[in-house]
Amino acid sequence: MKRADIVEFYARLAADNPHPETELAYNNTYQLLVAVTLSAQMTDSGVNKATRALFAEVETPAQMVAYGEEALRQQIRSVNFYNTKAKNVFALSQMLVHDHDGVVPENREALEKLPGVGRKTANVVLNSGFGHETFAIDTHIFRVCNRTDLAPGKDVLAVEAKLDRVTPQPFRRHAHHWLILHGRYVCKARKPECWRCIVRDLCAYRPKTPAPTDPRATDKDGTR
């Protein structure tokens, strides 16, 4: 995608949603870290359902340690891989208490040393929790970047590096959220909703999917 098109691409997304935010519910950076750690292979709404009662009781790493791993495990049973995730959240909470005075570090290297925290989770926390210009590449962003030709790459690291290079100011701070929301609700995996896409003329994807009211949108079995 040409630079002028990239600027226009982001400008339209920004005009449509000037203040994008994560759909995970949290009240502080620690709760954000926990929510993102639980979100792997889960919907944000599913995570929010599991953490609603938990976050009413637990706001800090010290409170999580006091809460206990077994109580945490029972509270998040609706989350995929809850046993492993409970173990990681409890362990990272202990590490935050012992090594960081109970404060989530504003540092990628320190974040990635926490149990269950990889590069994507660290990027989300740095972006949403601390305002850093980071790009957390999930399946939605990977798809949008490759499908549109915004920042194509064979793997998540390649897409992240390319996205970092091509994304200009003033769009860097919120690029992650615009792209994930666009991929989640418009540029969907199975059938992108091109007919209502505000950047369709800038997108390299062919063929564009027609609107549901178009007879061509009817599947072979007569469904839509």
Residue-range domains of the chain with CATH:
3-19+136-202 (1.10.1670.10), 29-130 (1.10.340.30)
Band (212; pLDDT cuts 50, 70, 90): confident
Please give the mean pLDDT across all residues of the chain: 93
CA distance 184 to 47: 16
85 is catalytic: no
The H or E element spanning position 179 is helix 175-185
**What is residue 211's predicted lDDT score, i.e. its pLDDT?**
80
**What is residue 210's predicted lDDT score, i.e. its pLDDT?**
82
| Torsion, CA 190, CA 182, CA 206, CA 208, rounded to 10 | 80
**Which positions ≥6 away from 83 have C-beta within 8 Å?**
73
Which of 138, 208, 214, 220 is catalytic? The answer is 138
Say which residue, 212 or 107, is predicted with more confidence: 107
Q: Taking 60 as the threshold, does the pLDDT of residue 215 lie above it?
A: no
**Which positions ≥6 away from 127 have C-beta within 8 Å?**
133, 134, 135, 136, 173, 176
120 is catalytic: yes
CA distance 143 to 193: 14
**What is residue 206's predicted lDDT score, i.e. its pLDDT?**
86
**What is residue 217's predicted lDDT score, i.e. its pLDDT?**
46
Give me the mean pLDDT over the 36-47 stretch: 94
Which of 16, 49, 85, 120 is catalytic? The answer is 120
**What is residue 87's predicted lDDT score, i.e. its pLDDT?**
97
**HSE of 34, CA atoms in CB hemisphere, 13 A:** 33
Determine the longest span between alpha carbons in the chain, in angstroms: 62
Band (95; pLDDT cuts 50, 70, 90): very high
CA distances from 3 to 8, 109, 126, 205 (A): 9, 32, 26, 18
**What is residue 64's predicted lDDT score, i.e. its pLDDT?**
98
